[in-house]
Chains A and B, each alone.
Chain A
């Protein structure tokens, strides 16, 4: 091709071509990132996200933000650092939630008949917005990692509180005290995942009473900071434009 020739015939056509590519890129990025992020998330944190009776005050609060901050950090590393687009984290999380909601509706409910209020996904959007806003306002990876990562962990439980609170109400059933979520789980038997492998409220932190969730969230925020930094550099690597040498 000629090095001086343009492929378009006018500035108006150039603008139109550019905008069309923007849409094609957004669509593709949304769905490819969704696919990778969802397969990652469901296999490192999925069980806590699938079922209401796994959404406890300790492991759910700890594990999910740590595993969820990965792809947002990587995508921000390209969208912000190359293009100054400030919605990388929100784009990832919206993609993940799209994939999860479609699945919970058509498959968890539509194929295996679990009620939606037993299988709804966890809420991650507030943390992602904060992550994006901190990066946009500060322009600093370090500040986003430290403040954003910590906020991502700390905000997770409050973001989910309005929907999870009614299901954490205590009930007495056959002389046992349990939560409404536990009780729902006992009634909706998942034969392939028996009760003894459910990982909830492990350890002795629950003896601290009301402090379980804040302590877990704080720990989650701490690890999220480290994971953010790590995945920022993964993102930079994935964004590289290097070619192998042609023979």
Chain B
């Protein structure tokens, strides 16, 4: 009886397997932040974003760009540095319950990566189509690019890097080496950012109309395929969870 009471008390004091507050916060923070970004685009895209030689362009768009560069580099440095510095050096000796809890936490990271990828690769990338097919660009740093290439892509890169580092530093499943598909799913979308160099070089070398299916854009397509690496990550996770649960769920 006493032992049972102690066990119940221990369960009540134990951290939940899935911290729902973290999950909701992770999704909400991206949605709220990007809602604000979209509002900013709506207000200052047309009023200050059409002529890159105008003083207001410098005020509202170039300054936005400089600020986001600083914030992104510092966020990546602090976040990735923290994850690495606080790594579990005895990761192979954690209890199965703790491992399960960490898998849940890892999935909070992956959910956040899903949301970040959606905004970067889907929402802001297709938005770029309508902006540039409507407005003739006179700079590489158009309002659309300031958000798409230099904000939404770094955000999903930072999130993907965080997910990968979390798995690598805290989960026994990922200690046997580096998962090839996890690297594909994070490094591939990251490569879209360097590919911006090719894109901008091409757009300035050839005075191009904004045809979205132009071969110049195929670098983005190739690296976009790598998002499918998430299928390999799912397979690894399902196998790891089945091993942890050891129950017939049928």
| Chain A contact residues, CB within 8 Å of chain B | 1-2, 5-8, 11, 14-15, 17-18, 20-21, 24-25, 27-40, 42-48, 50, 71, 74-75, 78, 82-83, 99-100, 102-103, 106-108, 110-112, 114, 119, 190-194, 197, 234-235, 238-246
Kindly list 6 other residue pairs between chains A and B, CB separation below 8 angstroms, not including A78-B235, A234-B225, A241-B235.
Answer: A6-B245, A17-B245, A21-B104, A32-B117, A44-B218, A243-B179
A99-B123, A191-B136 known; A244-B118 Cβ under 8 A: no
Q: Provide 10 A-B residue pairs closer than 8 Å at the C-beta atoms, listed in order of the A residue.
A: A1-B92, A11-B248, A15-B247, A18-B241, A50-B133, A78-B231, A78-B235, A106-B123, A192-B134, A238-B231
A34 in complex: contacting residue of B107, B118, B177, B241, CB < 8 Å:
B118
Assess the A28–B210 pair: CB atoms within 8 A.
Answer: no
Assess the B137–A192 pair: CB atoms within 8 A.
Answer: yes
**Count the B residues whose beta carbon is within 8 Å of the partner chain — how many?**
83
Assess the A28–B41 pair: CB atoms within 8 A.
Answer: no
List, in ascending order, chain A residues with CB within 8 A of B117's CB: 31-32, 34-36
Assess the A191–B134 pair: CB atoms within 8 A.
Answer: yes
Assess the A1–B95 pair: CB atoms within 8 A.
Answer: yes
Query: Cα distance A107–B244 when bound, in Å?
Result: 45
Question: In chain B, residues 94-142, which have Cβ atoms closer than 8 Å to a Cβ of chain A?
Answer: 94-97, 99-100, 103-104, 107, 110-111, 113-115, 117-118, 120-123, 125-127, 129-137
Assess the B209–A197 pair: CB atoms within 8 A.
Answer: yes
A6-B244, A18-B249, A50-B130 known; A102-B123 Cβ under 8 A: yes
Query: Cα distance A30–B110 when bound, in Å?
Result: 12
B135 CB, nearest partner CB in chain A, Å: 6
A205 CB, nearest partner CB in chain B, Å: 20
User: What total count of A-B pairs have CB within 8 Å?
Assistant: 251
| B236 within 8 Å of A (CB atoms) | yes
Assess the B244–A7 pair: CB atoms within 8 A.
Answer: yes
A115 CB, nearest partner CB in chain B, Å: 13
The residue on A at minimum CB distance from B7 is: A9
Query: Cα distance A240–B103 when bound, in Å?
Result: 19
B78 CB, nearest partner CB in chain A, Å: 25
List, in ascending order, chain A residues with CB within 8 A of B221's CB: 39-40, 43-44
Assess the A99–B118 pair: CB atoms within 8 A.
Answer: yes
List, in ascending order, chain A residues with CB within 8 A of B115's CB: 31
The residue on B at minimum CB distance from A191 is: B136
| B198 within 8 Å of A (CB atoms) | no
Q: Is the interface of B mostly helix, strand, loop or mixed?
A: helix
Assess the A1–B126 pair: CB atoms within 8 A.
Answer: no
A192 in complex: contacting residue of B192, B210, B238, B239, CB < 8 Å:
B210
A1-B95, A43-B218 known; A103-B228 Cβ under 8 A: no
B147 CB, nearest partner CB in chain A, Å: 11
Assess the A112–B130 pair: CB atoms within 8 A.
Answer: yes
Query: Cα distance A34–B227 when bound, in Å?
Result: 9
Assess the B180–A43 pair: CB atoms within 8 A.
Answer: no
B11 CB, nearest partner CB in chain A, Å: 8
Assess the A6–B181 pair: CB atoms within 8 A.
Answer: no
| B158 within 8 Å of A (CB atoms) | no
B96 in complex: contacting residue of A6, A34, A82, A241, CB < 8 Å:
A6
Assess the A111–B179 pair: CB atoms within 8 A.
Answer: no
| B185 within 8 Å of A (CB atoms) | yes
A2-B96, A6-B246 known; A241-B236 Cβ under 8 A: yes
A8 in complex: contacting residue of B113, B135, B247, CB < 8 Å:
B247
B99 CB, nearest partner CB in chain A, Å: 6
Query: Cα distance A35–B211 when bound, in Å?
Result: 20
A204 CB, nearest partner CB in chain B, Å: 22
